[in-house]
Amino acid sequence: MFKSLIYGWAALCVLLLAPWATWCATADDDIPVAPISAVEFRGWTNAYRLRNEVAEMVIVPEIGRLVHWGYVGETNLFRLDSALSKDAADVDEPGIWNNFGGDWIWPVAQSHWPLFQDGDWPPSRLLDGRPWTGRAWRSADGSQYALMTQTYGEPLHIKVTRTIRLDRTNAMASIRQRIERTGPSDIPVTLWNISQIRDAEWVVIPVDEDSAFFGGFKSMKFEEPGPEHIQWCGDTIVYDAQLGGEHKICSDSERHWIAAMRGGTVLFERVKERNAVGAGYPDGGCRIEMYAHRGLGYAEIETLSEERVLEPGETLENALVMRLFRVSPDLDSCALSDAIQIRIGEMEKPKPEPEEEEEEEEEDREDGVAQLRQERR
């Protein structure tokens, strides 16, 4: 079972763009060699902690969520509702949804929820609230993995898996997401991934010149964001999540990434689809969505796959890359957008002016002298 998962993972890694290919290990290197034991986390006893020298994450299969993601020794970038515990997960009351926070997936777009529940909000227990199965392991090359699995019965008839891999050395994780149809159903499915960011300050969204939406994005629900909320920065828009209001917007950008920043830490997410067939995207063509509610103290960055009606035995898959990196917390909106695009290879770093170049060379020389002195000691 483990080998089949890893070989499938290697095939998916081949599809990732060059900037992300460095952490895609070969199948032979990634053969599991040791299980990772479950730990206790806020009352849940079957949590799994994945950790390298710079970053750590915690996965709780019982609520189907990645609940912690951040630099080692620093605060959680995700919102996690401290008022909700294991006991809340056991409550099954119609019309009640436990908004735990964290990162999770819904396999059906919200517009189709009325096909199997009363209305399009809140999600029923069929969609969210039932325990997932999970396990974790270390591979031969030292990488750490966790696998979560959920089965949805009538009327969806699907099996969903999320295989999470923490990079060996970097603040980077990848999630292979897969939906398999297990029986007949006419309900379309999608890989709708949601990351809930506590106290997000800015959200950066790519927009394309040939977008089907005016200005490259559209407002979906709630109030229309005003000009004070949105800043156009070339081929991106930057949403100011520090202002009041409740907004949901989406983009159809084929670049298929989204990022949020808090306190100088950026969470960047990008999707690469494995078996896309041009079937179209949910909500009128949305590949990326953002929800923000300042009063609730969080923003959500969301990615969506194609939406398809699968036949029994057919699958829908993608790979989600989640990366952390630091920027100056004092950057304005467009400077933040530029910094992100430079880090992901969409923009070249500006060449320094001659005076700045000399200053950088002098700093390099001073650093070199200091290092040499330290080594001699």
pLDDT tens track, the chain, 377 positions: 444 444 444 444 444 434 444 334 444 456 789 999 999 999 899 999 999 999 999 999 999 999 999 999 999 999 999 888 777 666 677 778 999 999 999 999 999 999 999 999 999 999 998 999 999 999 998 899 999 999 999 999 999 999 999 999 999 999 999 999 999 999 999 999 999 999 999 999 999 999 999 999 999 999 999 999 999 999 999 999 999 999 999 999 999 999 999 999 999 999 998 777 878 999 999 999 999 999 999 999 999 999 999 999 999 999 999 999 999 999 999 999 999 999 999 999 887 776 655 565 555 555 544 443 444 44
Lookup: tokens for 201? 């300050």
Tell me the C-alpha distance between 131 and 128, whole Å.
9
pLDDT of residue 357: 53
pLDDT of residue 264: 98
Residue 54 phi, psi dihedral angles, 5° rounding = -120, -25
β-partners of residue 266 are 261, 325
Tell me the C-alpha distance between 355 and 320, whole Å.
41
Tell me the C-alpha distance between 230 and 232, whole Å.
7
pLDDT of residue 155: 98
How many helices, marked H, and strands, marked E, lie in the chain? 5, 21
pLDDT of residue 352: 75
| Within a domain: 152 | yes
| Within a domain: 360 | no
Tally Cβ neighbours within 10 Å of residue 114: 11
Question: 288-293 and 246-251: which strand pairing?
Answer: antiparallel
For the question of whether the overall pTM of this predicted structure is more than 0.85, the answer is yes
- DSSP, collapsed to helix, strand or coil, labels residue 45 as strand
CB 135 within 8 A of CB 146: yes
| Within a domain: 251 | yes
| Within a domain: 246 | yes
β-partners of residue 259 are 204, 268
Residue 260 phi, psi dihedral angles, 5° rounding = -130, 150
Residues 6+ apart with CB under 8 A from 372: none
Tell me the C-alpha distance between 277 and 156, whole Å.
21
Lookup: tokens for 162? 């999320």
pLDDT of residue 95: 79
- Note down the domain range covering 296: 2-343
Question: 265-273 and 236-240: which strand pairing?
Answer: unpaired
List C-alpha distances in Å: 29 to 49, 192, 249: 21, 30, 41
pLDDT of residue 274: 77
Question: Taking Cα atoms as reference points, which of 31, 63, 62, 37 lies closest to residue 50?
Answer: 37
CATH code, 106: 2.70.98.10
| Within a domain: 372 | no
> CB-side exposure of 197: number of CA atoms within 13 Å?
27
pLDDT of residue 350: 84
| Within a domain: 363 | no
| Within a domain: 366 | no
Tell me the C-alpha distance between 360 and 352, whole Å.
9
| Within a domain: 349 | no
| Number of domains, the chain | 1
